[in-house]
Structure 1
Amino acid sequence: MRENLKRERLKKNMSQKEVAINLSLSEITVRKLEKGDRNPSLATAKNFAILYNKKLEYLFPDIFLVNNDTKRIQHVERISN
């Protein structure tokens, strides 16, 4: 679950439906993004960052932080072995 994404929504006292309306998304998409069941497009991620006035790395650390990039790390380990 993307706790920071959910936390920022709650700080603004917004429902998932309100976020969806503000970002022209479906409520289901917002729910899946918060749960981590779906990844946003870069444009959608930027829209969240603007809405919450937070960095992409903070809202989506599993996508935008290199330290959390387990797929890349596994790929590099296979190449080096």
Structure 2
Amino acid sequence: MERKEILQLRKEKNLTQQQLAEKLGISTIYVRKLEKGVVNPGRETLVKYENFFGVDMKSLFPDLFFSNYDKKLINNKDDTKQAI
């Protein structure tokens, strides 16, 4: 799932993925994977994003904090309904 908030914020600052990576001290590939939702950030990276953009990490990475973004949870709910 693409993380649209961090992608939009990066573009609003007119930064490439490489430029953002340099400012945050992480790799360009990691930035790309974070934006695409392929990998999840560690605690340090969450804090770096939060401090850099001045936005709460829950807003930047809602899929990590809210269950409605959890596909496994949604799938499990569907399985429960079918079993009833």
- Report the TM range for the smaller structure's normalisation: 0.7 to 0.9
Q: TM-score, normalised by structure 1?
A: 0.82
The residue number in structure 2 matching 1:8 is 9
Alignment of 1:14-29 (within 5 A): 14-29=15-30
Amino acid at match of 2:42: S
Amino acid at match of 1:68: Y
Q: TM-score, normalised by structure 2?
A: 0.79
Amino acid at match of 2:48: N
Report how many residues are paired.
78
In angstroms, what is the RMSD of aligned CA positions?
Answer: 1.9
What's the % identity of the aligned pairs? 36
CA distance in 1, matches of 2:43, 2:72: 19
Residue 68 of structure 1 and its aligned partner are, at CA, apart by 2.5
Per-residue Cα deviation, 1:20-75 (whole angstroms, up to 9, x for no partner): 00111110000000000111001101110111111111110111224333445639
CA distance in 1, matches of 2:36, 2:67: 20
